[in-house]
Chains A and B, each alone.
Chain A
């Protein structure tokens, strides 16, 4: 797979605590332009904490986050979203009692002037959302909700999308189509930081990966190499 050297996101020695619990310990990672980078690890490994801290939801104890060369470590979430990054949260996070259209427009909260253009793009990319735009988001199927969450993220015109466990609770056939969407988005030029427990699927579609355990990066490398690593195969793929 082709890789470019321009670093879009760099995380240096990032540590985060929730009270006395250390969630992240000196995590280092980077995402280059046009890459899909996957964070793999079991529950509680710190995948969501990394994404939330990069976005600005959590305040780190130590470390630095730079996005496109700018230090964003202490930026609030709204500033980071305006700056070009977005998060597709875990659990197909949509506003169930609001319409599909309202959900999408919320994604463009900071740039509503160009929302019409972006809506056209999103409806062209996900025709099912166009058909269901006046329906309540809570009435969509699991796969459609995940599509909506991804489409909403696109509405903010991001350059990097963080996707937190997109396959959780979805049928295998739907998981395949969600991963196809992510690969297609990457081909369109979006950099993607993906967290996933479905290690095989994630590493198959990613360029590089980081393996997390109890808040530390224990291994990193090209996705292909990680997929062939005997320790990872044994721990996560049961082989």
Chain B
């Protein structure tokens, strides 16, 4: 497998996970960008615990844990720490309105960036690099293939979990909060617990994506925390469709892939390309390309479901 193809596939898989991390809290109307901060935090943790290094001039002050944890342990650590951070924050903003959650997300993103940029032990603006390969002893090509498989394994696993969640009573409750929060509360749906669950899941997913990203680039720096990445994931979510989990699966490979095959002279315009697509979709199909009614129509088309006749008991109406 060529380096270009494997890079495209792994980043696509990671960005699908990132977009799902934004999709989950948005199920109940919260745009939670803390997953980006968590992604970077878990990547730094992974770098520290896997034995990555900082640039030469900062080596004296670097934290040398000398642990050389294997991939799976750093992955678990990243997911657990990110989930825990997300949970702790959700205790304060679990039921907060969308705008407040956005502000908290941005605050954490730039707080994380400021800490990373000013901590010598984390390599300051250069970050950390020379992260070990995911499996030592394999060739470059085998390692890339293995990484692609690992990333898509997690896409399948997380995708299955989100599918089950969307079909569950919690998924239904999250949708009801999105549609009418006050009415949902009057039915006894605990908005704070629901927000807490989704924000924690989003943060843990951010942590997972962060460690995978770390092992793909084999380096991490604070430059990942940018408004551009927020815009990128939001574009992927809103263009694909924010009402179902399938939207990101369609949008991420296309939106991530097209700029890669653009002529070099047009590369500088790729943000304009994203902006035009986002504005176009918001004007023409505000719910995105893949919507629930579309899925329902497809479902009816494929399965031709028949309605069961209603019962014939006591009629109160």
Contact = CB atoms under 8 A, between A and B. Distances in A.
A121 B312 CA distance: 10
B20 to A, nearest CB: 22
Contacts of A236: none
Nearest to A129: B310
A109 interface: yes
Interface residues on chain B, size class:
20 to 34
A128 B317 contact: yes
Interface of B is mostly: loop
B317 A109 contact: no
A166 to B, nearest CB: 13
B188 A110 contact: yes
Contacts of B184: 106
Contacts of B316: 125-126, 181, 184-185, 188
Interface in A10-57: 52, 55, 57
A74 interface: no
Interface string A51-83: 010010100000000000000000011111110
Contacts of A123: 310-311
Nearest to A77: B188
A133 B308 CA distance: 10
A97 interface: yes
B197 to A, nearest CB: 14
Interface string B183-203: 111111110000000000000
Interface residues of A, number: 48
B80 to A, nearest CB: 28
B186 A57 contact: yes
A149 to B, nearest CB: 9
A205 to B, nearest CB: 14
A124 B313 CA distance: 5
A131 B169 contact: no
A197 to B, nearest CB: 20
A106 B312 contact: no
Interface stretch (B30-38, B64-72, B96-104, B170-178): B170-178
Q: Which of B185, B189, B316 has the most chain A CB within a 10 Å cutoff?
A: B316
B187 A106 contact: yes
A89 B183 contact: yes
Count chain B CB atoms within 10 A of each CB in A78, A87, A107 and give the residue with the most: A78
A112 B313 CA distance: 22
A180 B169 CA distance: 32
A189 interface: no
B28 to A, nearest CB: 13
Interface string A119-149: 0110111111111011000000000000100
Interface in B296-317: 305, 307-317
Given A121-B313, A125-B316, A131-B310, A95 B179 contact: yes
B173 A106 contact: yes
A123 to B, nearest CB: 5
Contacts of B176: 95, 98, 106
Interface string B149-189: 00000000000000000000100110110011001111111
A211 to B, nearest CB: 25
Given A106-B176, A109-B173, A125-B317, A81 B307 contact: no
B60 to A, nearest CB: 55
Among B189, B314, B317, residue most surrounded by chain A Cβ atoms (within 10 Å): B317
Interface in A178-207: 180-181, 184-185, 188
A82 B314 CA distance: 26
Contact of A105 (B172, B188, B307): B172
14 contacts: A77-B190, A87-B186, A93-B180, A95-B176, A95-B179, A98-B179, A102-B172, A106-B187, A106-B189, A109-B172, A123-B310, A124-B310, A127-B310, A152-B187
Considering the complex of A and B, which 5 residue pairs feature the smallest CB-CB distances, nearest first? A130-B310, A81-B188, A124-B313, A124-B311, A125-B316
